Structure formats: C-alpha cells, structure tokens
Structure 1
C-alpha cells in the first residue's frame, strides 16, 4: 500500500470507526451491564463520573472523526467505482444517523439531566426515579449506536477489499 493521501484518509477512517465501534461494544458489553448491578446511587454516581471523564480530546477525535473522514473519503474516491462510493456513502450515513445524531438527540440530553443532578442531596426516591428515567432510555439509544457503528465499520472493511481489488 502506497502512502497516498487517499490511502491515509481511508486507513484513518477505518481505524477511527473501528475504535468507535469498539468503544460502543465495550460499553454495551461490560460497562453499562457492570454498573447496572450497582444500587441507584452507585449506578448514577458511576455514570455521572464516566460521562464527565469521557469528554476529552481523544474521545472527540474517535467519535467525530469517522463522520468528517467519511465526507473526505467520499470526495477523495469520487472517481472510484460506483460500488466503492455507494459503500462509503452508506457507511458514513449510517454512522452519522445512528451514532452522531442518536448521541446528540438521545444520549446527551439524558447525560445532561444526570450531570445537573446533585446526587449527594437527592432522596432515595429521587435517585430511584432518576435511574428509571435514565437507564433504559440511555441503554436503548446506546444499543442503536453500537449496532450502527459496527455495521459502518463492517461496510468500511468491505470498501477496503473493493479498493484493493480495483487497484490490484
């Protein structure tokens, strides 16, 4: 593989999408199921701290990078076969709709609700209601993110094989 702009852009897209889908899978498979076993205060406190910690430059690159790199790759490969363009467009669209938009309009409002709550002064009943309001909805939105990020990643792997086949 030559170190061309096209190849670097594609590799970065695949790597960041893979990291994003791995992050989503890990949260679904271990993090949310693990903290789901905690009592209400433990669960809400742990989730509150994780939400505050994850908002960092590395996360933003891994999370938003695939969307922007999808646009770049669609442009870069605009003269490639129609199947490559189609796969890149579908992968980028699925990622944008199922990961980015679901996060912005689904998970973030729930995270903000949790973040603004003073858990230390909340009553046992308030904690129970907050968890009931938060947990199931958040996990449903996250399930969508997990599935769509994995599908997007798999489509990108297919596009790599198509690009390799067309250049070989």
Structure 2
C-alpha cells in the first residue's frame, strides 16, 4: 500500500473512532453498571472524580480527532466511488451528531451540574434526588453515544473493505 495523505488520515480516523467506540462501550458495559451498584454518595463522588480526570489531552485527541479528521479525510480522497463517499459521510454524521453533539449538549451539562455540587453538604434525600435527576438521563444519552460511535466505527471498517475493491 502506498502511503498517501488520504491513507494517513483514513488510518488515523479509523483508529480514533475505534478508540472512542471502545471507550463508550467500556463505560456502558462495565463502568456505569459497576458504579450504579454504589450508594448515592459513593456513586456521585465516583462520577465527579471520573468526569474530572477524563478530560485530559489524550482524551481530547481521541474524542475530537474524528470530528476534525472526517471532513479532512473526505477532502483528501479523489478517486473513490460515490458509495465510499456516502459511507464516509454517514460515519461522520453518526459520530459528530451522535457522539460529539450529544456529549456537548447532553452529557456535559449534566456533568457540569454534578461538578459544581458540594456533595458533602447534601442530605441523604438531596443526594438521592440529585442522583435520580442525573443517572438515568446521563445513561440514556450515553447509550446514544455508544451506539452511534460503534455504527460510525463499523461504517469506517466497511469503507476500508470497499476502498480495497477499487
């Protein structure tokens, strides 16, 4: 395989989308169900701590990489079929709409509310209320992110197989 700018952006896009899909899957499959078994205070503290540590340079690269690489990769491709182009557009729309926008407008506002809360100052009843207003909604939004990240990743894998046929 000749290493071209299009190949490099495609490999990076595939890798970062796969890492994001894996991250979302791991949270949905193990992390949130695991901490979901905790009492209200422990759950909320664990979530605060995870939210405070996950936003780091490596996470930013993995999470926002596909957002920037999708249009760049489409731009670099010259002689691909319209089928591959449509698959790439579909993968981008899934990732940008279902992962990035849902995160920014859904999960992050919930995370910010939780982050600003002094949990030690809340009564048991207030902790229960906060958790009830946070957990189910956050998990529903995260399910959207998980499914769309996986669909985007799978679609990119399909584009690789379609591209190699040309």
- Rounded to whole Å, the distance in 2 between the matches of 1:2 and 1:128 is 58
Give distance in 2, aligned partners of 1:162 and 1:70. 17
Return the offset for 1:162: 1.1
2:162 matches 1:162: yes
How many residue pairs get aligned? The number is 166
Q: Which residue of 1 aligns with 2:46?
A: 46
User: In the aligned structure 2, how far is the partner of 1:83 from the partner of 1:57?
Assistant: 35
Q: 1:137 to 1:78 in 2, by over 3 A?
A: farther
Give the 3-state SS of the residue equivalent to 2:94 in structure 1. helix
> Which segments of 5 or more consecutive residues in structure 2 lack a partner in the other structure?
none
The CA deviation at 1:79 is 3.6
Does 2:86 match 1:90? no
1:143 paired residue number: 143
Q: Is residue 39 of structure 2 the alignment partner of residue 56 of structure 1? A: no
SS in 2 for 1:110: helix
User: Equivalent residue for 2:32?
Assistant: 32
- How many Å separate the matches in 2 of 1:79 and 1:52? 44
Give secondary structure in 2 for the equivalent of 1:3: coil
Structure 1 segments of 4+ aligned residues over 2 angstroms from their partners: none
Length-normalised TM-score, structure 2: 0.98
Question: What SS does structure 2 have at the residue aligned with 1:20?
Answer: helix
The alignment yields a C-alpha RMSD, in angstroms, of 0.7
Matches within 5 A, 1:59-70: 59-70=59-70
Distance, in Å, in 1 between the alignment partners of 2:85 and 2:79 is 8
User: What are structure 1's unaligned runs of at least 5 residues?
Assistant: none
Matches within 5 A, 1:1-20: 1-20=1-20
Tell me if structure 2 keeps the 8 A contact 1:78–1:85: no
Name the structure 2 match of 1:77.
77
TM-score norm. by structure 1 comes to 0.97
